Amino acid sequence: MSVTALAAAGICLAVLGAAAARLTPGREPSPLCNRLAQDTRVRTSMGAAIQPGMSCAALGEAIVKATAGSEPGRRTRAQAQTMKDVLFALAWVQPKNIDLDPALRVPLATALADYGPDLHEMLAGVDSEYVLKAGHDTPRWEAGGTYHLSVDHTVFRATLRALAEDPRAYALLRSAETRAAAERLAALPAGATGSELLLQPTKNARAFGILDAVAVAVAVAVAAKSPDAPEARKWHATVFDHLLTERADHADQAAPADHLTATWLQELKDTPGPARADRLRTQGVDMARTWAQTRGMDEQTRKDLLSEVENSALYAYREAKP
């Protein structure tokens, strides 16, 4: 089964999910703001930023301010700890299926997207440091002049799924991963060979495969709530609209990472609307192909690499699919 064939699988899953949902009792409504303002650790991390009676939208804005660094890629110990506390607090309330308050989705995605390197590593799930430091009581750590965080993959994926019900939130996270993937490909030394050459593009593909599975999970949920196909198409269309706004930021950039990002977004834009969902699922392969061409990679090496990248995306998708 190729990566491009995942679209059909996603549609089938959505239909099956809708049928199952009709036989499943409705979920209890989520508590106000998912009880984030009442969580002991979140209250300790955010202090006076949490005000009595604040709305969920105001709480979301406060979380963005409390977790954002003074400049991109730079966060303090307290900011990283707040982000970790918020992510775990969500999962403690509803560990398997987070019914996230709609007003929190975009703000929390905005906050998480600001942690691009950490988001990338948690999506890929292969860095031992991120695996070992994913526990609730394991603190954030400093490396490269900033503080990093990790959370258990079950908590992380449940949160991603909850955020992604808002297509704007999903687009924010996908854009952050696109930038992180491009930066890591561009940073590979010109003389890299063997496993050093293969590791990063396959990690990128794993990350995109997880995000593809999240998109299918949303399709299942949309189908359950409204069997009308236009609703799923509307979700995808909104995702694409927000992804393609990135083109203006990366157009005609000479930096290798910006070139990779701009090329991918242009390819997505040039893809006819009905085929864009399929094209999104080949992002890891498409970005790796552009990167290989830019490096002047020989045909056989490129062919072997792209095969590994495609398999990596497929395995990750199967691992995380609903």
Q: Which helix (H) or strand (E) holds 13?
A: helix 6-22
For residue 231, the model assigns a pLDDT of 77
Q: 282 vs 2, which has greater pLDDT?
A: 282
Tell me the torsion sign for CA atoms 55, 56, 57, 61.
Answer: positive
Task: At 131, give phi and psi (nearest 5°).
Answer: -70, -45
Over residues 20-60, the pLDDT tens digits come to 333 334 444 457 898 999 999 999 999 999 998 999 999 99
Task: At 142, give phi and psi (nearest 5°).
Answer: -100, 135
Tell me if residue 71 falls in helix, strand or coil: strand
- Max Cα distance, the chain (Å): 63
Distance CA 252, CA 235 (A): 29
Query: Which residue, 1, 15, 22, 3, is CA-closest to 219?
Result: 15
Q: CA neighbours within 13 Å on the CB side: how many for 165? A: 19
Query: Which residue, 217, 222, 239, is CA-closest to 172?
Result: 239
Q: Is the pLDDT of residue 300 over 90?
A: yes
Secondary structure of the chain: what % helix, strand, coil (to 5)? 70, 0, 25
Beta bridge partners of 142: 147
Q: CA neighbours within 13 Å on the CB side: how many for 49? A: 21
For residue 96, the model assigns a pLDDT of 67
- Helix-then-strand count for the chain, H and E: 16, 2
Over residues 56-93, the pLDDT tens digits come to 999 999 999 999 987 877 899 999 999 999 999 988 76
Over residues 102-141, the pLDDT tens digits come to 999 999 999 999 999 999 999 999 999 999 999 989 988 9
Query: Which residue, 148, 173, 153, is CA-closest to 163?
Result: 173
Residue 153 has which token pair? Answer: 């993959």
Distance CA 263, CA 266 (A): 5
For residue 94, the model assigns a pLDDT of 60
Distance CA 308, CA 72 (A): 32
Please say whether the beta carbons of 33 and 108 come within 8 A.
Answer: no
For residue 303, the model assigns a pLDDT of 96
Q: What letter does residue 190 receive in the DSSP assignment? A: T
Q: Is the pLDDT of residue 95 over 80?
A: no
Beta bridge partners of 71: 74
Q: Let me know how long the chain is.
A: 322
Q: Which amino acid is at 243?
A: L
Please say whether the beta carbons of 42 and 86 come within 8 A.
Answer: yes
